[in-house]
Amino acid sequence: MTLRRTLMTLLIVLVSLSTLVACSGSSANFKVGMVTDAGTIDDKSFNQGTWEGVVQAATELKIENKYLKPTGTTEADYLREIGNLYDAGFKLVVCPGFKFSSAIFKAQTQYKDAKFVLIDSQPADADGNAVVGTNTVAIFFAEHQSGFVAGVAAALQLKEGEVGFIGGMEIPPVQKFNWGFQQGIKYANDNLDTKITMKAENFVYQGTFSEVAAGQQLAATMFDKGVDAIFCAAGGVGVGAINEAKTRAAAGEKVWIVGVDVDQFADGYYDDAKTKSVILTSAMKGIKKAAYDMIMAEKNGKFPGGQTLTFDATNDGVGIPATNPNLEKAVTDKVADVFAKLKAGTIVVAAVQGDLFK
């Protein structure tokens, strides 16, 4: 009887311990999903950067991840896919882009036991009032700082010549990229002995993020007018500009593109060996880092629900790629010095447009 009681006691203890382990690990067993904005998961830009952050975190945590692409870009389209993820057990949902603002506003109330990461926007009601629920975190980026650093880098590498800008929709993130880039060019001209020209006619917004052909035509027009490098913050429109630059570079012209959001160097290859690229550098924002950090925060029980966060120079949330094959070492060294000053607050980049065209 004593042995039997001992075995029974041991069995009870083991069952209790396994239950405790299962309960303690339940927070790590969540599933993370993403709903894409317009475009594809391999758009070399916003969707892809966000998805890469989701995949990295999910791989490290060994949790399930999934993305859904809506059939359209309306609030109803986004809510439908958010609901589909929720019904499938995905209680952490990441959404990239300002178009999700109203959808997340409704979802955060409808699915109170789920958590949401909204990148580049805040949940807002029908009147545009921002309401970040306790189960939601909104993330913004200092695009003007990223554009500034890319502008300094482009100016230093070119030394002289002319630059332009092609934006997609004229919305705050795109405008801030533009304004920061202009300030970076001006800073280099004023402080670093560069002689770069900017003309208002070559700083334009196409109006969409999807018209590839329109982007190619805009770039062709600028290059024909003597523009040496174009900064593109335009999604698919930017892809068109990159295609135009690649065609010209393959024919022997010396033209450049400054990429956006992620390191677009590989998208600019124009030789079969994939050693030559038209991407001078890229104005990056830590989209991947933001998605990754929020998933890890949830895993560690530190999800910053109800908060609006900004990724900027101080937390390495913006900048140019660590490796820039088309920039000379002297240029990257000087850019690193400028970035350090930006990080320390010695250099301040305005988020509001001034008149920099001369």
Q: pLDDT per residue over 280-324, tens digit each?
A: 999 999 999 999 999 999 999 999 999 999 999 999 999 999 999
- Ranges of the chain with pLDDT below 70: 1-28, 44, 354-358
**83 shares a domain with 49:** yes
- Identify whether residues 197 and 336 lie together within a single domain: yes
pLDDT of residue 2: 56
Q: What is the pLDDT of residue 43?
A: 74
Q: Which residues pair with 68 in a beta bridge?
A: 35
**Are residues 220 and 231 both part of a single domain?**
yes
Q: Looking at the structure, do residues 201 and 137 belong to the same domain, yes or no?
A: no
The predicted structure's pLDDT at residue 331: 98
Is residue 211 assigned to a domain?
yes
Is the domain of 111 the same as that of 150? no
Is residue 203 a part of any domain in this protein? yes
Q: Are residue 336 and residue 220 in the same domain, yes or no?
A: yes
The pLDDT tens digits for 199-242 are: 999 999 999 988 999 999 999 999 999 999 999 999 889 999 99
Q: Which pairs count as long-range contacts for 16-25, CB under 8 Å and 24+ apart, including other chains?
A: none
Range(s) of the domain holding residue 332? 143-284+328-344
pTM equals: 0.85
User: What pLDDT does 18 receive?
Assistant: 42
**Strands laid side by side in the 160-167 sheet:** 195-205, 160-167, 229-233, 256-261, 279-285, 318-319
The number of distinct structural domains making up the chain is 2
Q: Are residues 219 and 249 in the same domain?
A: yes
Angle in degrees, CA 221, 227, 230, rounded to 5? 85
pLDDT value of position 24: 35
Three-class secondary structure of residue 214 per DSSP: helix
CATH number where 75 lies: 3.40.50.2300
Residues 242 and 339 in one domain: yes
Mark whether 166 and 253 lie in a shared domain: yes
Same domain, 199 and 265: yes
* Residue 235 confidence (pLDDT): 87
The radius of gyration computed from the CA coordinates of the chain, to the nearest angstrom, equals 24
